[in-house]
Amino acid sequence: MSWFESFILGLVQGLTEFLPISSSAHLRLTAAFAGWNDPGPAFTAITQIGTEAAVIIYFRKDIARIVSAWCRSLFNKQLRGDHDAKMGWLVIVGSIPIGVLGLTLQDAIDGPFRDLRLIATTLVVLGIVLAIADRLAARDETGGRHRAVKHRKGLDELTTRDGLLYGICQAMALVPGVSRSGATISGGLFLGYTREAAARYSFLLAIPAVLASGAFELKDAGQGHVSWGPTIFATVIAFVVGYAVIAWFMRFISTRSFMPFVYYRVLLGLVLFALVGFDVLSPHAGESGD
């Protein structure tokens, strides 16, 4: 991998990680469209450490408060009912599904899941799911001629059941094209949470999963056509760009609909179907031996 490729892929990772459009799919597609080798799941997982570092810094006050309360609650029973202490446990519970499935489906993640036809399908299907979830949220928030505004839950109302369901939604992002934020935010909206609450928990929930995945994939870094230098460079680029994107996105969702991302996902998926269907692009473009 050249330094130019690593710069572009780091830029793509930073731009797409927090948006509900799938960063792993965009890394895969960028390489395929450019005629480069597929950077692979190891490169993706490691560069995601850069964007998660941006999450840690952006939510540093929330994270420090949660970690502190959770640690103190281990030795002080009176603190176990504290919201921040419970949030610590909920992040742990929500991380279980992706941890179990990530290890179980490792071979599929490295192979069949990276087929461009599957990516096109998940882009379209999850785009439609996000559209439905967004519509339900908008209906509750605005009401209508014959419908009153309906209360939507905040993070202080998050339950163990909902935290686990969030985690199951996050695990779906093991398939490129689903989008970690897209799946978990959609799940949160279906569960009745506000847009901001759904996004905030989505980002907090991703931290242990992404850091663990990145650490697990470190053993494969520097192998094949991807070397350590470009990987680290891409990770730094992803961090810088990702921080700017997450700050913008949190402001965006407080007043705007997710529909622009829905239109983009569906259009990209249909274009990808057409390119593969007309043999302009191989479903395995960039893979070894292609």
Residues in Cβ contact with 279 at an 8 Å cutoff, skipping those fewer than 6 apart: none
Q: How many CB atoms lie within 10 A of CB 160?
A: 12
Characterize 86-97 residue by residue with b for buried, 16 or more Cβ atoms within 10 angstroms of its Cβ, and e for exposed. Answer: bbbebbebbbeb
The pTM for the full model equals 0.87
DSSP summary character for residue 36: P
- Residue 36's alpha-carbon distances to 18, 32, 233, 286, in angstroms, are 24, 6, 17, 6
**Phi, psi at 192, each rounded to 5°:** 95, 15
What pLDDT sits at residue 219? 66
What pLDDT sits at residue 144? 60
Residues in Cβ contact with 162 at an 8 Å cutoff, skipping those fewer than 6 apart: 191, 193
DSSP summary character for residue 222: T
What pLDDT sits at residue 290? 39
Residues in Cβ contact with 218 at an 8 Å cutoff, skipping those fewer than 6 apart: 46
Contact 256, 195 (CB under 8 A): no
What pLDDT sits at residue 284? 82
Three-state secondary structure readout of 129-197 = HHHHHHHHHHHHHHCECCECCCCCECHHHCCHHHHHHHHHHHHHHHCCCCCHHHHHHHHHHHCCECHHH
Per-residue pLDDT for the chain (290 aa), expressed as one digit of tens each? 889 999 999 999 999 999 999 998 999 899 889 888 888 777 888 898 999 999 999 999 999 999 999 999 999 988 888 999 999 999 999 999 998 998 888 888 777 888 999 999 999 999 999 999 999 998 887 776 666 778 899 999 999 999 999 999 999 999 989 999 999 999 999 999 999 999 999 999 999 988 888 887 776 665 655 678 888 999 999 999 999 999 999 889 877 889 999 999 999 999 999 999 999 988 887 664 43
Instruction: Give the residue among 95, 126, 60, 125 at the shortest CA–CA distance from 211.
Output: 95
What pLDDT sits at residue 139? 87
What pLDDT sits at residue 285? 78
d(Cα 90, Cα 201) in Å, to the nearest integer? 10
Residue 153 Rama label (left phi>0; alpha psi -120 to 50; beta): beta
